[in-house]
Amino acid sequence: MLSSESVDTMHQFLSHHSLQTGLTQERLRNTLHVQLD
C-alpha cells in the first residue's frame, strides 16, 4: 500500500506532467478504468 507521502509525490508529478501534455491525467484515468474493468 502506498504511503501518503508517495501519493502526494505521485499526484504532484501527475499534476505537473498534465500541465505539459494536457491529457496525461485523463489518459491515465482511462487506462486505470480499462485495467479495472
The one-digit pLDDT tens for each residue of the chain (37 residues) are 567 888 888 778 777 655 666 666 677 778 877 766 5
Concatenated DSSP letters of the chain: ---HHHHHHHHHHHHHHHHHHSSHHHHHHHHHHHHH-
Q: State the pLDDT at residue 24.
A: 67
CB 26 within 8 A of CB 14: no
| Helix (H), strand (E) counts: the chain | 2, 0
